[in-house]
Structure formats: C-alpha cells, structure tokens
C-alpha cells in the first residue's frame, strides 16, 4: 500500500471476499515505518532540523493520500489524521530514557494512520468497515520491540469484541505489528510483524484460512529481486515454512506459523499484483518440502568472535553471561559456532547494538569482528549447489546438517 492505486486494489480484493466474515490486518503505507524509525533516531540525537524535515514529509504524504482517495476536505478523516500527528509530535519532542520503549511508542503510528485511511476509503465506496485498534486487542508483555503475546488476555479481548462486528456484516479493519502491555503502553511484535498479527486473529477466531498478500507471485525458492531463476513454491509444510522464516526468508514473519499450525489453518501467500493467481499454500503436507532447494541470503552481517583472555574454556557459565548480553541488547543470533576457547556469532549489522554489546563483554573477553559479510543459507542443498554459491568467496564460517547448510562469506 504505497499509493492510492494500492489502496484501491486492497478495496477490490476485500470486495471479492466480502460474502465471508473478514478481518483485514493492514501494515503501514509505503516506507512509513522506515521514516518513523528515522524520527526516533533524530529525536534521540536532538537533531531537530532533520526530525522536522522527515515529520513534515510524512504528514504531507498521508494527507495527500487521503485527499486523493476521499476528496471531501470536510471529511472527518483529516481531523483524525491531524490528531495522530499531534500525538506523534509530542512523543518525538519528549523522548524517554528507554530507547526501546520510545521506539514502540513511535513506530506503531504508521499502522494507525493507514487503517484510518483504508477504512475511510472503504466507507466512501459503500463497504461497511469498522476499525478496531490492535492495541486494545493484542495484549503483550513489556518486552518492547519484541513483545510476547499474552494469549489468555488476547483471546478474551478478541473474542468479546470482534465477532459481534462480523455478525453485523461489517469488515473488521485492524493494525498489524502493534499491541499494548498490561499498563496500556504500546508494544510491537517485531519488525514486519503484521503477518503474525493476522495469524493471531486466525487462531483466536478459528478462521478457515489466513491469507498474506505480497508483491511477489507467492512463496519463492529464492529472492526474485536477486535471482532471475526463482521458482514459485505451490505448497510447503508448516515445518518447512518456519525453518525458512527462522533463517531469514522475508515473506513470512518467523512467529506467524505456530498460531495457524496449532489449529491446522491453511496459510496462503497471495499475489497483491495478480489476485486471481493461485497462492502458495502452507499446511501440514510435507511431501513437497525437499523437491526444490531454497536459498536465503542475508547481507550486512557481523561476525563477532568472543575468546577467553586466559585460554580457559568457554563453558556454560561463560555462555550464560554472553547470551544475557545479547538478550539485553536485543540482538538475534543468525549463526553460532563454539570451540574450546572461543565463541563466534553472526548477526545483523547495527552499529549501536554492536558497540553496546562489545562494551558489555570487553572486560571479560577478547573481541574481534568483521562487518559487511553475507550469510547464505541453502535448504535441501547439494554439494554442486554449495560450490556454485561459494566459488571465489572467502568462507568465514560454515555449518552443515542433513538438510541445511549455512556459509558466511565476504
């Protein structure tokens, strides 16, 4: 949903399914989340000039989108948008000490803005739509930026509020990615978490199916933007999908699979640009999993080697402290390797997190690192395929299992 054309297509897709009870989970418009992350950064660095520049551009983008779709300048949508931007500006002017808490109070505005615009457009064209804010439905803990769902309370709130709206013949519009903790403060479920939100609703409402709409033909065995010979996967199992998501496949959020698998709800990945095409289906069937290899490439990787200063073993007591440092700094490990006196880990590049992690570990360990590396994961690999992807590259780390190989290269 990057422009008015995209929102009109959303409305067209909704019209095709309106005969069934329908919950629509929307993401932020275009690159709004990226812009909000910039606003957090400029707010915390006290760069008022750059913050105001991004803020004005973001506000203009959303108001122009609403004007294009709604047209009527007296429509209440503009007052609602203005109120949200006033709240956003307040959050930016008064940043709290906790940067992760601050992040969650700011970035969720993207989904709130998009849901207002989508629902206003649907109502304009005669589609009965009702916005229910996700932060009043999805209850989480207070682990900001990667909140864990409190399923007991979330089930209670969704079941009490959503079915009556559906029974009234209205489409429920809600926001992906966001929730709130027990204190009522905004939380987020992890970057790109709208798919996970859809799976939560599917699970609680015992949906017949959950559909994720993407700008690709469906699930692909490789990134079509990187590889010209990518092929669509018509069907894979829940197990295969969660493996791919864990290793970094971008189409499905890692947490999405478990809620639908628990109730055997098919998860369909559909083409936003070609809605009539057959989807990729994720279900319990495993027979197709090893028929096609899958390749996941993650750029901008850091390799950090953590070694004991006195050649003592890196054992359980050391590893406990190391993992706590990673957890405190909210760093997800993509690959790890252990020897007698060192522990090597690969993770996504984030200089602020890297420096904070090294500060936490430097007194007890010798630290060395490489940046700008690439992690290649191949599911159902062959030796010939591995050679094809690593030929001419320096291999920093390699791990193999029966079905998966991971190599970290320059």
Residues of 181-215 as b/e, b for ≥16 C-beta within 10 angstroms?
A: beeeebbbbeebbbbbbbbbbbbbbebeebebbbe
**φ and ψ at residue 251, rounded to 5 degrees:** -75, -40
Tell me what the mean pLDDT of segment 115-143 comes to: 96
**φ and ψ at residue 268, rounded to 5 degrees:** -115, 130
Q: Which residues contact 93 (CB under 8 A, 6 or more apart)?
A: 43
Q: For 383-400, how does the pLDDT look when each residue is reduced to its tens digit (9 = 90+)?
A: 999 999 999 999 999 999
* Residue 232 DSSP label: B
Q: For 157-176, how does the pLDDT look when each residue is reduced to its tens digit (9 = 90+)?
A: 999 999 999 999 999 999 99
CA separation for the pair 254, 192 (Å, rounded): 10
CA separation for the pair 316, 78 (Å, rounded): 57
Q: Which residues contact 47 (CB under 8 A, 6 or more apart)?
A: none
* pLDDT over threshold 90, residue 120: yes
Q: What domains, with CATH codes, occur in the chain?
A: 4-207 (3.40.1160.10), 211-292 (3.40.1160.10), 294-409 (3.30.2130.10)
Question: Residue 160's pLDDT is what?
Answer: 97
* pLDDT over threshold 80, residue 22: yes
* pLDDT over threshold 90, residue 47: yes
Question: Residue 331's pLDDT is what?
Answer: 94
Tell me what the mean pLDDT of segment 334-345 comes to: 87
CA distances from 113 to 64, 102, 213, 272, 331 (A): 13, 18, 19, 21, 29
Tell me what the mean pLDDT of segment 279-301 comes to: 95
Q: Which long-range contacts (CB under 8 A, 24 or more apart) does 155-158 make?
A: 155/204, 158/200, 158/201, 158/204, 158/205
Q: Do 40 and 103 touch, CB atoms closer than 8 A?
A: yes
Least confident interval from 16-20, 146-150, 244-248, 313-317: 313-317
Helix (H) / strand (E) containing 282: strand 280-283
* pLDDT over threshold 80, residue 365: yes
- Model confidence at 1, pLDDT cuts 50, 70, 90, reads confident
Token pair of 219 as six digits:
């699930």
* pLDDT over threshold 80, residue 251: no
Token pair of 394 as six digits:
């320096």
* pLDDT over threshold 90, residue 344: yes
Tell me what the mean pLDDT of segment 216-242 comes to: 92
Q: For 69-103, how does the pLDDT look when each residue is reduced to its tens digit (9 = 90+)?
A: 998 888 999 999 999 999 999 999 989 999 999 99
Q: Of 234, 351, 206, 226, nearest to 292 (Cα)?
A: 234
Question: Residue 134's pLDDT is what?
Answer: 97
Question: Residue 235's pLDDT is what?
Answer: 95
- Model confidence at 53, pLDDT cuts 50, 70, 90, reads very high
- Model confidence at 308, pLDDT cuts 50, 70, 90, reads confident
Q: Is 46 left (phi over 0), alpha (psi -120 to 50) or beta?
A: left
- Model confidence at 277, pLDDT cuts 50, 70, 90, reads very high
Helix (H) / strand (E) containing 33: helix 32-44
Least confident interval from 132-136, 227-231, 339-343: 339-343
Least confident interval from 274-283, 320-329, 332-341: 332-341
Q: How far apart are the first and last CA of the chain?
A: 35
* pLDDT over threshold 80, residue 312: no
Question: Residue 341's pLDDT is what?
Answer: 76
Q: Which residues contact 208 (CB under 8 A, 6 or more apart)?
A: 20, 265
- Residue written as tokens 């400029």? 42
pTM for the model = 0.91
Mean pLDDT of the residues in the chain: 93
CA separation for the pair 87, 378 (Å, rounded): 45
* Residue 409 DSSP label: E
């Amino acid at each position: 949903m990057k422009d008015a054309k995209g929102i009109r297509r959303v409305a067209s897709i909704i019209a095709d399914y309106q005969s069934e009870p329908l919950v629509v989970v929307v993401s932020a418009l275009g690159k709004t989340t990226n812009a909000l992350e910039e606003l957090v950064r400029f707010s915390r660095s006290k760069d008022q000039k750059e913050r105001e520049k991004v803020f004005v551009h973001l506000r203009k983008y959303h108001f122009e989108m609403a004007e294009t779709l709604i047209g009527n300048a007296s429509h209440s949508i503009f007052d609602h948008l203005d109120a949200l931007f006033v709240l956003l500006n307040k959050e930016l002017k008064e940043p709290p000490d906790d940067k992760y808490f601050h992040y969650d109070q700011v970035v969720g505005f993207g989904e709130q803005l998009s849901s207002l615009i989508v629902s206003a457009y649907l109502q304009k064209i005669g589609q009965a739509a009702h916005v229910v804010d996700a932060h009043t439905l999805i209850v989480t803990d207070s682990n900001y930026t990667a909140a864990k769902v409190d399923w007991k309370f979330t089930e209670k709130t969704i079941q009490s509020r959503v079915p009556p709206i559906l029974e009234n013949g209205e489409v429920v519009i809600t926001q992906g990615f966001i929730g709130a903790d027990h204190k009522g403060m905004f939380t987020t479920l992890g970057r790109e978490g709208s798919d996970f939100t859809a799976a939560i609703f599917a699970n609680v409402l015992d949906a017949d199916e959950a559909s994720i709409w993407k700008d690709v033909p469906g699930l692909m065995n490789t990134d079509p933007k990187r590889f010209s010979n990518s092929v669509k996967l018509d069907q894979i199992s829940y197990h295969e999908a969660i493996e791919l998501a864990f290793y970094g496949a971008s189409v499905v959020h890692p947490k999405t699979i478990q809620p639908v698998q628990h109730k055997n709800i098919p998860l369909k990945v559909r083409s936003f640009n070609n809605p009539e095409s057959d989807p990729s289906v994720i279900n319990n069937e495993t027979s197709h999993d090893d028929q096609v290899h899958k390749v996941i490439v993650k750029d901008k990787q850091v390799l950090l080697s953590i070694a004991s200063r006195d050649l003592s073993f890196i054992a359980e007591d050391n590893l406990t402290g190391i993992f706590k440092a990673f957890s405190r700094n909210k760093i997800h490990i993509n690959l790890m390797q252990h020897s007698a006196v060192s522990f090597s880990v690969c993770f996504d590049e984030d200089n602020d997190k890297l420096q904070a992690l090294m500060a936490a570990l430097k007194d007890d360990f010798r630290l060395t690192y490489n940046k700008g590396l690439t992690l290649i994961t191949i599911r159902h690999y062959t030796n010939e395929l591995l050679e094809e992807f690593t030929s001419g590259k320096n291999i920093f780390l390699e791990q193999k299992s029966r079905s998966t190989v991971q190599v970290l290269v320059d």
